[in-house]
Amino acid sequence: MEFSRRDFVGLATAAMASGVAAPVRGAQSAEVDDPLNCRSDFPVLNQWTYLNSPYIAPSPQSVVDATVAFHQAKASDPVSLGSMLEETRLLRQRFAQLVNAGVEEIGLLSTTSEGENVVTAALDLRPGDSVVIDDLHYDTTVFLYNHLVETRGIDLRVVNNIDGATPVDAFARHVDETTKVISVSWVSHQNGYRQDLNGLAELAHAHNAYLYVDAIQGVGAIPLDVTETGVDFFTVGGYKWLLGGFGVAPFFVRNGLLERVAMDRIGWRQLESEPEPGEYRFYQDARKYGYATPAFGSIYQMRAALDYVLDIGVDNIEAHVLPLADALNGGLRSLGFDVLTPSGNASQIVAFRHGIDRSVATARFEDAGVKVSFREGGTQIRAGVGLFNNQEDIDRLLEVAKSLRS
């Protein structure tokens, strides 16, 4: 990837001095089954059949190179603040392109959960206000709203899944004129269930409520076009399907709501210009949410990751991973497993109960070199299909799964 900062021209030289080769995506791929021409970019595949991206996705080598180059440059000739702020601007621009948002709608936080905290603080929820979530949501959201039940007296309503799904009509039974927020994980970390964001947005807006989305398990693997959905706010960390690292989380606030969602803290990075004595002016767009010095190394890392994802194209990624996930779902069902992910679910995550002693199941997968997540006390297995996976990977997982039935 090319670095555009004027003050960062020494980065490539520093990277070469550190032994980092210039990345060329897919240049050395010798794989037969590699539709996106990317398998050779992921060092993890030298060791594992890696189906654990819902936990932490591996980064491609180009992203590793960009990260090393930044730190090497910092060690040899520390990067100027202006250069790092320019990289931050480029990151926001790339992410806006990814989700078809205006760059003014994209802020940068540090974690996915931070976004929902910013939004709920701004909405000033009070006794009598209701919030609707489902039981497939991430734990932090559950803790957040239960805390607001205790401290603010809000009414928390939970939609219980039926056969792993919480469709719009199930939410509709819990939404009324008191509802201020519907909050969902776009793709559930539990079983991969994919929410109908358009339907939920219409439901929320029909009751003058907002739709907040935890998008960490979707963006980067599945296209999201904010001009075609009514999502009001979402946040996404970079270390899963965006192929980046930790410490940076793009935060989307729809244009008409930027004034409604105020800053919840104050710092130098929110200032639009150098303050005159006794005077200062804050950004009015989503830059106002980044209040202090960010993790700049992670920003360079994520910008390189976004370049990589945009180069391949999320439409192409989705078209590749969904049929593989569907094949995995069907294969597990044919083997008699209790699959927790609904059939026909349009996401890249599949979860199932393995039904045997956890230590035995863990050993079988480890011995076969297949990396998945064991969840819910080790009783469940969650797998995720990434852009680098292929049918051979799915077959290998199913082969190990078959051994658990004997």
For residue 84, the model assigns a pLDDT of 85
- Tokens 């819990």 correspond to what residue? 174
The CATH fold assigned to 84-310 is: Aspartate Aminotransferase; domain 2 (3.40.640)
Instruction: Report whether pLDDT(85) > 90.
Output: no
Please work out, in degrees rounded to the nearest 5, the angle formed at the alpha carbon of residue 366 by the alpha carbons of 364 and 369. 110
What does each C-alpha distance from 252 to 10, 56, 109, 119, 352 come to in angstroms? 33, 22, 10, 11, 32
Query: pLDDT per residue over 201-240, tens digit each?
Result: 999 999 999 999 999 999 999 999 999 999 999 999 999 9
Let me know: does 328 contact 394? Beta carbons within 8 Å: yes
d(CA 105, CA 257) in angstroms, rounded, equals: 9
DSSP run (H or E) holding 94? helix 81-99
Q: Which long-range contacts (CB under 8 A, 24 or more apart) does 278-282 make?
A: none
77 Cα distance to chain centroid: 33
pLDDT at 283 over 90: no
pLDDT at 17: 35
CA–CA distance, 383 with 359 (Å, rounded to integer): 18
CA–CA distance, 100 with 227 (Å, rounded to integer): 7
Question: Who wins on pLDDT, 201 or 277?
Answer: 201
Residue 362: count of CB within 10 angstroms of its CB: 15
Q: Which residue has the higher pLDDT, 189 or 78?
A: 189
Residues 99-149 have pLDDT tens digits of 999 999 999 999 999 999 999 999 999 999 999 999 999 998 999 999 999
Alpha helices in 112-196 (DSSP H): 112-123, 139-152, 168-172
Q: What is the pLDDT of residue 287?
A: 78
The two counts, helices (H) then strands (E), for the chain are: 11, 13
Give the model's confidence band at 269: pLDDT under 50 very low, under 70 low, under 90 confident, else very high: low
Q: At what angle do helices 139-152 and 112-123 cross, to 10 degrees?
A: 20
- β-strands 349-353, 233-235: how paired? unpaired
Specify the CATH number of the domain 314-403: 3.90.1150.10
User: How many angstroms separate the CA atoms of 49 and 63, rounded?
Assistant: 20
pLDDT, residue 21, reads 36
User: Mean pLDDT across the chain, nearest whole number?
Assistant: 89
In DSSP terms, 271 is beta-bridged to 282
**pLDDT tens digits for range 136-156:** 999 989 999 999 999 999 999
State percent of the chain over pLDDT 70: 86
Say whether pTM exceeds 0.85.
yes
Question: Alpha carbon 175 to chain centroid distance?
Answer: 27
Task: Give 227-236 pLDDT, tens digit per residue.
Answer: 999 999 999 9
In the chain, CATH 3.90.1150.10 sits at 314-403
User: Strand, helix or coil at 388?
Assistant: coil
Higher confidence at residue 140 or residue 396?
Answer: 396
Q: How confident is the model at residue 293 (pLDDT cuts 50, 70, 90)?
A: confident
Tell me the two tokens of residue 155: 């009414």
pLDDT, tens digit, for every residue of 244-253? 999 999 999 9
pLDDT per position as a tens digit, 16-68: 333 333 344 444 445 459 999 999 999 999 999 999 999 999 999 999 999 99
The CATH 3.40.640.10 portion of the chain extends over 84-310
Residues paired with residue 210 on neighbouring β-strands, in sequence order: 181
What pLDDT score was predicted for residue 288?
Answer: 73
Query: What pLDDT, on a 0 to 100 scale, did the predictor assign at position 167?
Result: 98
Distance CA 166, CA 137 (A): 10
